[in-house]
Amino acid sequence: MRRPLTTAGLVLGLLLSPLTAAPPARAAAPPVYAALGDSYASGVGTGRYLDDGSDCQRSSYAYPALLAKARGWTLRFRACSGATIAHVRASQLAALSSRTRFVTLSVGGNDAGFAGVLTTCATPWWLLDCDPAVARARAFIRDTLPARLRALYAEVRSRAPRARVVVVGYPRVFQGTDCDLGTWFTRAEQQQLNATGDLLNARIAAAARAAGFAFADPSKRFGGHAVCDDPAWLNGLSVPVGESYHPNRAGHASGLLPVVRPLLRGPGPAARTGVASPAPLARTAGTRVAPFRKPDPRTKQARRAARRHGIDLEAWLRRHP
């Protein structure tokens, strides 16, 4: 027959129970999300930037910051204005590790010299010829860029073997109208630039999918919201000029975020073994590219070009103040 517990036994049991109870389960750490790339990922064009000790112009209005805040993820925000593939490899990949769960990456436009091409094509026809600049960019995109992307993507996968990676493309900038008084894009030039952007997206998408990454294409999403559209999700000629031809706050919240967000769900891939990777390129300095520059038709070069083409520059400037 079991003996009933005495009052002293009950008290002793209550005192000892906290010492023998199982410890509470720890809350899972939030997923780590690394946002890599260039100015289209850092948030250039949104008008307000984080005071993070860098000149990368990262913004809390950029789609990586909006996404991380909405989902409660730990954000490793490394995207940087002007970044090239070399800059990403040298200065941004340290954000990745085996703990990284999600990655977004936007890069390639600066390698193709797109800011310089825009600067060239924005000038009057008699000052600079847009066609050769576009042709050089297209040749680079076709012949050189794919190998650089493959090497970069292989390194991303090596550093973050279990992450879900989404490579983000670029929106079309123009819709056929140049409403800015300080630029001179013709309709034909805008079509060339859009076609070059399409080629860039196609090569980036092919390399991303070959690496097993998802590709987010914002082209359709930005339809009806290009430069000079109403509403425009891309800045035209802006002050400061470095924000020109970049997504504004609506472009990030309503344009880029909706095409990226659905692709960053679920677990990443199982770590792959025995997969051949492209031979790595030699690591170069973490270079960055200067942004778009406003054309200046008052320079000595412009005056010489005007004389060469038989243009009365002073009369031209009065018509184009």
Nearest-CA neighbor of 201 among 229, 164, 173, 175?
A: 173
For the chain, give the percent of residues with pLDDT over 70.
Answer: 83
Indicate whether 170 belongs to any domain.
yes
Residue 130 covered by a domain? yes
Structural domain containing residue 94: 28-294
Task: Judge whether 54 counts as a catalytic residue.
Answer: no
DSSP string, 57-125: ---TTSHHHHHHHHHTPEEEE---TTB-HHHIIIIIGGG--TTEEEEEEE-STTTTTHHHHHHHHTS-T
> What confidence score (pLDDT) does residue 124 get?
84
Residue 180: predicted pLDDT: 87
* pTM, entire model: 0.83
The rounded distance, in Å, linking the Cα atoms of 169 and 256 is 9
Determine the pLDDT at residue 276. Answer: 37
Q: Considering the domain boundaries, does residue 227 fall inside one? A: yes
Q: Say if 320 falls within a structural domain.
A: no
- Catalytic entry in 87, 225, 246, 252: 246
| Residue 318 is assigned to a structural domain of this protein | no
169-181: per-residue pLDDT in tens? 999 999 888 888 7
Share of the chain above pLDDT 90, in %: 64
pLDDT at 14 over 60: no
Q: Which tokens is 296 given? A: 């200046």
245: left (phi over 0), alpha (psi -120 to 50) or beta: left
Could you count the other beta carbons within 10 Å of the beta carbon of residue 256? 30
CATH number at residue 126: 3.40.50.1110
- For 212-271, write each residue's pLDDT tens digit: 999 999 999 999 999 999 999 999 988 888 899 999 999 999 999 999 999 998 655 644
Asked if 39 is an active-site residue, the reply is: yes
Write the pLDDT tens digit of every residue in 53-112. 999 999 999 999 999 999 999 999 999 999 999 999 999 999 999 999 999 999 999 999
Per-residue confidence (pLDDT) for residue 71, from 0 to 100: 96
Q: Which of 17, 39, 158, 252 is catalytic?
A: 39
Other Cβ atoms less than 10 A from the Cβ of 136: the count is: 15
Q: How many domains are contained in the chain?
A: 1
Q: Say if 300 falls within a structural domain.
A: no
| Within a domain: 76 | yes
pLDDT reading at 192 higher than 50: yes
Q: Is residue 321 a part of any domain in this protein?
A: no
